[in-house]
Amino acid sequence: MSHKAGFVSIVGKPNAGKSTLMNSLVGEKMSIVTPKAQTTRHRILGIVNEEDYQIVFSDTPGVIKPAYSLQESMMNFVQGSLVDADIILFVTDINEKYDETDVIEKLQKTDSPVVVLINKIDKSNEADVKAKIDSWQRTLNPTAIFAISALLGHNIQAVFQFVLEHLPIHPPYYEKDELTDKSERFFVSEMVREKIFKLYEKEIPYSTEVIVTSFKEEEQLVRISAEIIVERDSQKNIIIGKGGTMIKKVGTYARQDIETFLQKKVFLELFVKVISDWRSKKNYLKSFGYEQ
| Averaged pLDDT, 17-22 | 91
* Contact status, residue 124 vs residue 94, Cβ threshold 8 Å: yes
Segment 43-95, tens digit of pLDDT: 888 999 999 999 999 988 888 888 888 888 888 888 888 888 999 999 999 98
* Contact status, residue 239 vs residue 70, Cβ threshold 8 Å: no
What lies within 8 Å, CB to CB, of 271 at 6+ separation is 225, 226, 227, 228
Segment 225-262, tens digit of pLDDT: 999 999 999 999 999 999 999 999 999 999 999 999 99
Segment 175-225, tens digit of pLDDT: 998 888 888 999 999 999 999 999 998 888 889 999 999 999 998 899 999
Measured torsion, CA atoms of residues 127, 128, 134, 138, in degrees rounded to the nearest 10 = 160
* Contact status, residue 87 vs residue 117, Cβ threshold 8 Å: no
Reported as type and span, the H/E element at residue 266 is: strand 265-274
pLDDT the model gives residue 6? 95
* Contact status, residue 58 vs residue 9, Cβ threshold 8 Å: yes
| Averaged pLDDT, 16-28 | 89
Report the sign of the C-alpha dihedral through residues 195, 154, 92, 78, in that order.
Answer: positive
* Contact status, residue 133 vs residue 10, Cβ threshold 8 Å: no
CA distance 182 to 130: 39
Residue 169, beta-bridge partner list: 4
Segment 103-115, tens digit of pLDDT: 898 898 888 999 9
Secondary structure of residue 212 in the 3-state scheme? strand
